[in-house]
Amino acid sequence: MIIDGRAIAQKISDRLATRIKDLKTKGVTPKLVIVKVGNDLRTQTYIRVKQLAAKKLGIKTEVKAFDAQTSATQLDSEVRQLITDLNQDPTVHGIIVQLPIEADLDDQELIDLITPNKDVDGLTATNQAALEAGRELMVPATPLGIISLLNNENIPISNSKVALVGLGRLVGRPLSFMLEARGAELKVANSKTTNLKAITDDADIVIAASGQPHLIKADMVKKSSVLIDVGLSEIDGQLTGDIDPAAKEKASMATQTTGGVGPMTVISLLSNVVLAAEIQASLQ
């Protein structure tokens, strides 16, 4: 069975539309500002996807772009000043620093300048520390999307054996805390783990977020498993994931390389923007 991320994202979108309508009756229109440094083509594609989805929901977006060729000192100063100004702007509810940054800047330092209740990427040290302590405030969009996907498909997390392959800052690491908080029997690994099969072969849920194409083979998963493919790579012009197609055919449920986790990431980011707007409206 294919887990349809697009269909689940649409259900969440419908619920968000109601919340956005309620905000607008109070004179609040959710707004997201994306801070971009450089002209990476893939990054621009990601931003357009976010903007299109936001527009459909009635969420305002604005991109603040900086030339990566500007001197690092000047660029750092300008980006810092922009974030400071956005923090103080009551019409801006969410701020993200689009990664990767195409300049010699400390991206974490810049992210940490964002006030936590506008940090809709959930990457500030404050929100990360809260997550690690079991208090989910603003959490990263992809992990949030994966949890939402499992919940919407009524796939139990509590007491399930979960193999998480990949512990990156954007997906694996925050997701590990979220899974443990929900009672998962969690085993973690990465692409270099010796005998990876020993981690995955008895797992009820395998989540692959290593960025290594076809890392998870059919003989590494059991027939009743649920496979969540987060990775996205390009081989000979074709997009492929971390999980081999043969493994997905063997599993009971699986996401596709496209139309799976991707749409859930976008809608989860927008969910965070709406939540941020609600929180900020309640504080006024």
Which residues are annotated as catalytic? 50, 98, 121
Contact 208, 165 (CB under 8 A): yes
Count other Cβ atoms within 10 Å, centred on residue 283. 7
Report the C-alpha gap between 198 and 28 in whole angstroms. 51
Structure tokens of 203?
A: 């797992």
Residues 6+ apart with CB under 8 A from 189: 163, 164, 165, 196, 199, 200
d(CA 42, CA 35): 15
The tokens for 247 are 């493994």
Backbone dihedral angles phi then psi of residue 105, each to the nearest 5 degrees: -125, 155
Q: Pairing mode, if any, of strands 238-240 and 205-208? A: unpaired
Backbone angles phi, psi at 31, to 5 degrees: -135, 135
SS (H, E, C) 207-245: EECCCCCCCECHHHCCCCCEEEECCCEEECCEEECCECH
